[in-house]
Amino acid sequence: MRDATLHIIGTGPGDPDLLTLKALKTLTACPVIAAPKASPSGSSTALAIISQAVDLDGKTVFELYFPMKKIRAGKAPEEEVSRAWRAAAATIIACLDQGLDVAFPTLGDPAIYSTGYYLYDTLLSMRPDIRVRFHAGIPAMSCCSAETAMPICLGNEMLAVVPATFSDERLRSTLEAFDTIVLMKVHRVLPRICRLLEETGLLAKAVLIERAGMEGERIIRDLSTIPENPHYFSTMIIRRNGGFQAPWSRDRQQAGPIPADVSAM
């Protein structure tokens, strides 16, 4: 029996047109798709994205539960999280043992705060000889930069990419130390973030981008009034040295909408 491979694939920020050619080829070739979801009863956003670009008919599709709980580097996760990771890994190993290549789509790029590396680490702990390949995806911040015509960093500027869920102390020190700060996962903590930006004098330097590159995209440059109900796909870019004003707006009809009831993963 042939040695099968798990392919951990970045889907990009949400627009299926931003899947790489390599991702499309690999997803098309793999007979098994194992996609992460954030709640047991929800659906997978990564699966919703790739299903707009890849024909899933005839493929075996699993939606694997990965609890959305805080993971701290160097510390063991909660038992519920470890148990879910092991269950997901066991499902994938069973397919690989049958000689079936498996594709695991994950939002953005697998290298940036991704479920994919937790799966990879769990797999290695269970089967050190497992074959895994990573496929880079376009990160959300790159798409946000393109949509706003605003650079992430130039010249000798320093860049920080952090979750907005960090403590006030850590966020404040980051805001004060770096030239450009990209904040991810801002949708649940936006009022707190706007307060910190105002306190540090950076509120006017911030741009919020929702659903970058997709239908329903919204770019908010004035955060003096906090937007209500920000979308899960929201990223904030703060440029201490300012940005560029894009004089146009783009039609988002070319990219199909992500179903409203899916769980983000």
**Burial (0-12, 13-18, 19+ Cβ within 10 Å), 172:** middle
Say what the pLDDT of residue 59 is.
Answer: 98
Look at residue 213 in the predicted model and tell me its pLDDT.
85
What is the predicted pLDDT for the residue at 69?
Answer: 66
Give every CB contact of residue 53 below 8 A, 6+ residues apart in sequence. 16, 17, 19, 24, 27
Q: According to the model, what pLDDT value does residue 32 have?
A: 98
Residues of the chain with pLDDT under 70: 1, 69-75, 243-265
Q: What is the pTM of this model?
A: 0.87
| Percent of the chain topping pLDDT 70 | 88
Looking at residue 73, what is its pLDDT? 67
Digit-coded pLDDT (tens) for 24-42? 999 999 999 999 998 888 8
Share of the chain above pLDDT 90, in %: 75
Q: Which long-range contacts (CB under 8 A, 24 or more apart) does 119-122 make?
A: 119/8, 119/36, 119/66, 119/85, 119/88, 119/89, 119/92, 120/8, 122/82, 122/85, 122/86, 122/88, 122/89
Task: Say whether 124 sits in a helix, a strand or coil.
Answer: helix
- Joined together, the tokens standing for residue 133 give 């390949």
Please write the tens of the pLDDT for every residue from 95-151: 999 999 999 999 999 999 889 999 999 999 999 999 999 999 999 999 999 999 999
